[in-house]
Amino acid sequence: MFEIQPMDPERYREQTRRSTLIIVAILALSCIILASISIALFGTPEGNNFRWNLGGVLAGLLLTIAIVRGYCWQQPWMAPAIYGFRLKRNLMKVTNIMHQVEAGVAADDPTAMRVLRFYHLGVTQMYRLDGNSSALSDMVRQIDEHRERMLAQGLSPEQQALDPAWLSIVSERWGSAKK
């Protein structure tokens, strides 16, 4: 289950910039070092060493992926970037079945209404974290209308968590909804 966590947008952007720079530095160093080693071991002084250079760069990319997933992923300085990644991934899961969610909301399905409310809260946070206030202002009316509709049905508008089972339920109930 994914839960929306309170986060300061300025601090989030600062920390994600820092983690991005660290990963870019790891990528650059590993690509340069492995390309140089590859050329030194297998290249020729007069020949075309493009394939050895490319092979070293690709090996550097794979090494960077392994370092990020194996070591960096558990570091505290990566937590905001990982949270942002997970938030966007869960929002994409909802987006992928949005036509079914909307069909369920139109029929006053409580599960679909909870999913849409989570989506609205998640998108609101994502836009704030990314500093995209113009896109958020375009959705305010829709978000407020859905919140009022939930309140009128006695549903809590505090949907800070997304239960993956809700997505399955909505897909099953409203799977025949047209896009």
Q: What is the pLDDT of residues 20-71, one digit of tens each?
A: 999 999 999 999 999 999 999 999 988 899 999 999 999 999 999 999 999 9
d(C-alpha 65, C-alpha 140), whole Å: 38
Q: What is the pLDDT of residues 65-96, one digit of tens each?
A: 999 999 999 999 999 999 999 999 999 999 99
Judge whether residue 116 has pLDDT over 90: yes
d(C-alpha 76, C-alpha 60), whole Å: 24
Name 2's Cβ contacts closer than 8 Å, sequence gap at least 6: 86, 87, 90, 161, 162
Per-residue model confidence (pLDDT) at position 177: 59
Percent of residues, the chain, with pLDDT higher than 70: 98
Per-residue model confidence (pLDDT) at position 72: 96
d(C-alpha 101, C-alpha 113), whole Å: 8
Percent of residues, the chain, with pLDDT higher than 90: 89
Exposed / middle / buried, residue 93 (Cβ in 10 Å: 0-12, 13-18, 19+): middle
Per-residue model confidence (pLDDT) at position 56: 97
Of the candidates 142, 138, 137, the residue with the CA atom closest to the CA atom of residue 119: 142
Distances, alpha carbon 57 to alpha carbons 27, 40, 49, 50, in Å: 9, 14, 12, 10
Per-residue model confidence (pLDDT) at position 134: 83
In this prediction the pTM is: 0.84
Q: What is the Cβ-side half-sphere exposure of residue 131, based on CA atoms within 13 angstroms?
A: 7
